[in-house]
Amino acid sequence: MVCLGNICRSPLAEAIMREKLKQFNLPIAVDSAGTSNYHIGENPDSRSIANAAKNGIDISQLKARQFSAHDFDQFDLIYVMDESNYNNVTALARDENDSNKVRIIMNEHEALGYTHVPDPYFGKEKDFQLVFDLLDKVCEKICRNFQQQLTNINH
Ligand code: 4NP
């Protein structure tokens, strides 16, 4: 899960996805990173921590790190929050195999009508709640798709 700062959107995405993967009983690892170096080593934005807590998830211990080309070797799928993240991440791709791993996350659930997860950094609590709601729905959809793929493999 990748955004710009790794302090607002992607920590929420990481924690929500981890929770969904547990609910779906899917043994898949998830992590998050930012394309920028602005907040390396910092915990999530206090507003993201508060919003997550309000929604029953603890992200207070997560720490921001910067995305690097090494992540292409560590992960099969890289979900980015917006087009700017997409451009920054694919710019680090070493080949087509790397760039094919990168997906704009809202494209996984088009019925929600969002092309990206809006950056809440200059927003208010309602903007953080929108981020949470979008990520909650799209992560659920991604897990359902994973589950379906496993069912197809096993039958
Ligand atoms: P994020 O939000 O990419 O969702 O973590 C932002 C965090 C920090 C900044 C911008 C967006 N910043 O400019 O420092």
Tens of pLDDT, residues 99-153? 999 999 999 999 999 999 999 999 999 999 999 999 999 999 999 999 999 999 9
Establish if 25 belongs to a structural domain. Answer: yes
Q: Active site includes 58?
A: no
What 3-state DSSP class applies to 12?
helix
Q: What pTM does this model have?
A: 0.97
Q: How confident is the model over 76-85, as pLDDT tens digits?
A: 999 999 999 9
Establish if 42 belongs to a structural domain. Answer: yes
* Residue span of the structural domain in which 49 resides: 2-111+123-154
CATH of the domain at 60: 3.40.50.2300
The CB density around residue 63, as the number of other CB atoms within 10 Å, is 14
> Cα(8) to centroid of ligand 1, in Å?
6
Q: Looking at the 3D structure of the chain, how many domains does it have?
A: 1
Establish if 117 belongs to a structural domain. Answer: no
Query: Which amino acids bring their CB within 6 angstroms of ligand 1?
Result: 3-9, 34, 38, 119, 121
CA distances from 46 to 35, 39, 154 (A): 20, 13, 43
Establish if 133 belongs to a structural domain. Answer: yes
Q: Active site includes 71?
A: no
Can you tell me which residue has the tokens 């899917």? 26
Establish if 116 belongs to a structural domain. Answer: no
Which residue in 12, 87, 115, 90 sits closest to 57, CA to CA? 12
